[in-house]
Amino acid sequence: MANQEIRLKAELRTETGSGAAGRLRRSGSVPAAVNRIGGGTTLAKFDAHEFKGVLRKHANEQMLVTLDIDGNDVHALMREVQYDVITGYPIHADFGEISMSEKIHVQIPIRLLGEPEGVKVGGGIMQQILRVIDVQCLPADIVDNFEADVSHLKLNQSLFVRELALDAKYDVLTGKDIVVASVASPEADPSESAEVSAENAATPDVITKGKKEEDGAAAKAPAKK
């Protein structure tokens, strides 16, 4: 199921710096930065209560949203949310403006379905090695996860990326010979095999993160409408 597009009302903000960000949070707002397609960054803020409600309903941070910024609609992908280490509340969000007609590079979680035959009959140990897969697709085709049936796996068998049943609208960027999941023999050391497989499954961090410090956004002026 594709991610439901969500609308978020935002307001432009002109104050920058950690002090200004702290004042916004205390007044019930969450500061945000929107990286624009044409370059530059638009600084915005959300109502904290509304934003937390959206996050509770949508666990995937790669959330497709339409930002209503002072009456102007901006299609964007939520790239990162920073949380307070004590309260767990969101304290900053980063978005990237996107074109709905151009494919983008995203990471989509893999959800395993079924109990492998090697576990049910042979007493094997199920291991999920790859938890996300890199693909290119249109923004409207972003899904919460890809499902993969592993019920057919016997002892010492693996499911590879090339065996995932993905629609042709997804261009798979992760290596086709990388192991997604495997069933190890009960006498094998699962931690050792998982460590080796994880090394083989290593993929680069492909999603560009937004700003880490509020002061970093201060150097970027809001983009012109």
Give the residue, 48 or 189, on which the prediction is more confident.
Answer: 48
**pLDDT value, residue 71:** 87
146-149, strands of its sheet edge to edge: 146-149, 104-113, 132-137, 171-172
Residues 166 and 131 sit within 8 Å (Cβ to Cβ): no
Query: Whole-number mean pLDDT of the chain?
Result: 83
Instruction: Report the pLDDT averaged over residues 156-165.
Output: 97
CATH topology of domain 104-188: RNA Polymerase Alpha Subunit; Chain A, domain 2 (2.170.120)
Taking the domain 6-98+207-218, which CATH number applies? Answer: 2.40.240.10
Report pLDDT for 192: 53
pLDDT at 160 over 80: yes
pLDDT at 141: 92
pTM: 0.72
Q: How large is the average pLDDT for residues 76-105?
A: 93
d(CA 48, CA 209): 21
Could you tell me the residue ranges of all domains in the chain?
6-98+207-218, 104-188
pLDDT computed for residue 224 by the predictor: 43
Quick one: pLDDT at residue 60? 66
Q: List alpha helices for the chain, DSSP H.
A: 18-26, 48-57, 117-120, 190-200, 214-218
Q: Which of 33-37, 115-119, 123-127, 219-223 has the lowest mean pLDDT?
A: 219-223
pLDDT surpassing 70 at residue 173: yes
Which pLDDT score, from 0 to 100, does residue 70 have?
85
Inter-residue contact 92 to 82 (CB < 8 Å): yes
Which residues have CB under 8 Å from 26's CB, separation 6+? none
pLDDT at 143: 87
Domains 6-98+207-218 and 104-188 share a fold: no
Q: Which pLDDT does position 188 carry in this prediction?
A: 64
Helix (H) or strand (E) holding 203: none
Q: Is the pLDDT of residue 1 over 90?
A: no
Q: What average pLDDT does range 28-47 have in this prediction? A: 93
Please say if the pLDDT value at position 121 is more than 60.
Answer: yes
Report the SS3 class of residue 177.
Answer: coil
Report phi then psi at 73, rounded to 5.
Answer: -80, 130
Going by their DSSP bridges, the two strands 29-35 and 41-47 should be labelled as: antiparallel
More confident residue, 76 or 62: 76
